[in-house]
A and B are shown apart, each in its own frame.
Chain A
Amino acid sequence: MKAISFDKLRIQLGSALILPGVSFDVKAGECFGLVGESGSGKSTVLRCMSLLFHSWSGTISIDGKSVKEMGPFERCRTFQMVFQDPYGSLHPRHSVRTTLSEPLKIHKLDNHIERMEQALIEVGLPVDFLDRYPHQLSGGQRQRVAIARALILEPDILLLDEPTSALDVSVQAEILNLLVRLREEKGFTYLIVSHDLAVVDHMCDRFAVMQGGKVVEVLPREAIPGNEAIMPYARELIAASLQYERTVE
């Protein structure tokens, strides 16, 4: 289990200052949520960490080691990312087999077949799905393949960028159950971006509320039902979510 620490993460794209200085810590084995409106910079945090953006300053460290000092191999085997839209994140002309074997080849690992079958079993797909293409899969199955791809290098940390917001409620339940089970089995640290506080409440131990690129407040999960936030924006966000759910017992 590995801990993540963000310290004064700052990124400017063109003339826009996206993150002016974000600091927070994720404990080892924790499920940590990032919530906020669209444009508040929550996905940008994940993209900085996985070096999809390079031009940031500050430090992001995993168990004390900066991600910028890790080589690409070590980085990819420490953390992996699952993207929002399974319709866009899988290559349409690569079979599941190609998608899953690519990282194994790059990292020169052995026992490709066993590893790929193991990954599919872990995400609850039959092994004969290896020869399917994304268009032959439903949205939920695609997201399972995307999660299998993230698992195949046996990372310690998963970055989840709105993993269920493109899916139907019934399929969302399956994926959330899968993510909970995998964390119990493998002791992952999760950093999960979501705009749905009900999902955050279901999954996370703590979460950070972001607004305009800043972390407004870090709250424990228990603060949601009674709206115990102190900062006005965090209160407003939680109140809106509670109101949205109001008739649900």
Chain B
Amino acid sequence: MQEMNSDTILAVENLSIRYRGTPTDAVRNVTFNLGRERLGIVGESGSGKSTVGRALLKLLPTADIKADRMQFRDIDLLNTPEKEMLKVRGRRISMILQDPKFSLNPIQKCGPQVAEAYSNHIRCSKKEAKQRTLTMLESVQIRDPERVYGLYPHEVSGGMGQRIMIAMMLLTDPDVVIADEPTSALDVTVRLQVLDILDALVRDKGIGLIMISHDLNLVRNFCDRVLIMYAGQVVEALNANEMHKAQHPYTRGLLAAQPHIGGPRQPLPVLERRPEWLEDVKVV
């Protein structure tokens, strides 16, 4: 049993998720603690990393979630009824999604969408919600917030759309932010700006960040700790700056398969998937 010390915001123990009608668990025995830190979850498509993120917010109506513990501050997420979850989602735990093109409402102007996310949770006048929104848009480095407030999502670029999403998700001062591939739809030049903004806000506000990504490079540069998932299990947990000390052959394979600038032009090492990786592993 892991102790929940005062720094721990979120404690998850033996989380297993099975989509109804499928024979196997999509996620098995995932255990981790989150403090005021940046935790990365890395894996290939289908490894269950996004499913973990969604399960924390109980956004999986077609799956059964089992766990020994899913404790968020004073709230036991496992046994919280849906009505109470509404007060957690977007207020105390919020989620940034991959592609602003699909996650912003296309027929509502950007500003009011952000303001709505605020006024849904916090009683305030319309004027105050707008004022808060403008300040927040400014803090995600949108230069002309008044103008952007009145634009539709199709009128803003991908990078700006993602910054609007970040503004929306951080406006309610959440304790935990789950970022599910927040930059994979963006260009390299814009990606760094968006990451810097997210990083600064997370640090300033002392938010716990869960960064879900398939990009090992991003995670090792950006996070404090990294969980590596394979076929629904966490196969290894590492400090981001100790990534080169990875033991599990899957992690090492992933690291080696990535081409590097200035790397030798030999054939890239290809990942040999071993059946024993599917067996239950215990990661402390």
Taking Cβ atoms with an 8 Å cutoff, the residues of A that contact B are 37-38, 139, 168-174, 176-177, 180-181, 195-199, 201-202, 224-225, 236-237, 240-249
Q: Are A198 and B260 in contact (CB under 8 A)?
A: yes
Which residue of chain B has its CB nearest to the CB of A238?
Answer: B261
Give B124 Cβ to nearest chain A Cβ, in Å.
37
Q: Are A139 and B259 in contact (CB under 8 A)?
A: no
Whether a CB of chain A sits under 8 angstroms from the CB of B74 is no
Task: Evaluate whether A197 and B261 lie within 8 angstroms (CB atoms) in the complex, with A177-B268, A244-B221 already known.
Answer: yes
Whether a CB of chain A sits under 8 angstroms from the CB of B214 is yes
Task: Evaluate whether A202 and B263 lie within 8 angstroms (CB atoms) in the complex, with A139-B45, A168-B214, A245-B217 already known.
Answer: yes
Task: Evaluate whether A176 and B191 lie within 8 angstroms (CB atoms) in the complex, with A168-B44, A198-B258, A245-B217 already known.
Answer: no
Whether a CB of chain A sits under 8 angstroms from the CB of B265 is yes
Can you pick out 22 interface pairs between chain A and chain B where the beta carbons lie within 8 Å of each other? A38-B158, A168-B214, A169-B214, A169-B216, A169-B257, A169-B258, A172-B257, A173-B259, A173-B271, A197-B188, A197-B261, A198-B259, A201-B260, A202-B263, A237-B188, A240-B188, A240-B189, A240-B192, A244-B217, A245-B261, A247-B220, A247-B241
Which residue of chain A has its CB nearest to the CB of B221?
Answer: A247
Q: Are A201 and B263 in contact (CB under 8 A)?
A: yes
Q: Are A173 and B187 in contact (CB under 8 A)?
A: no
Taking Cβ atoms with an 8 Å cutoff, the residues of B that contact A are 44-45, 158, 187-192, 214-218, 220-221, 241, 244, 253-254, 257-263, 265, 267-271
Give B238 Cβ to nearest chain A Cβ, in Å.
13
Give B25 Cβ to nearest chain A Cβ, in Å.
20
State in angstroms the CA–CA spacing of A241 and B267 once bound together.
22
Query: Cβ of B268: which chain A residues have Cβ within 8 Å of it?
Result: 173, 176-177, 202
Task: Evaluate whether A174 and B259 lie within 8 angstroms (CB atoms) in the complex, with A244-B217, A246-B221 already known.
Answer: no
Give A28 Cβ to nearest chain B Cβ, in Å.
20
State in angstroms the CA–CA spacing of A248 and B190 once bound together.
20
Q: Are B216 and A244 in contact (CB under 8 A)?
A: no
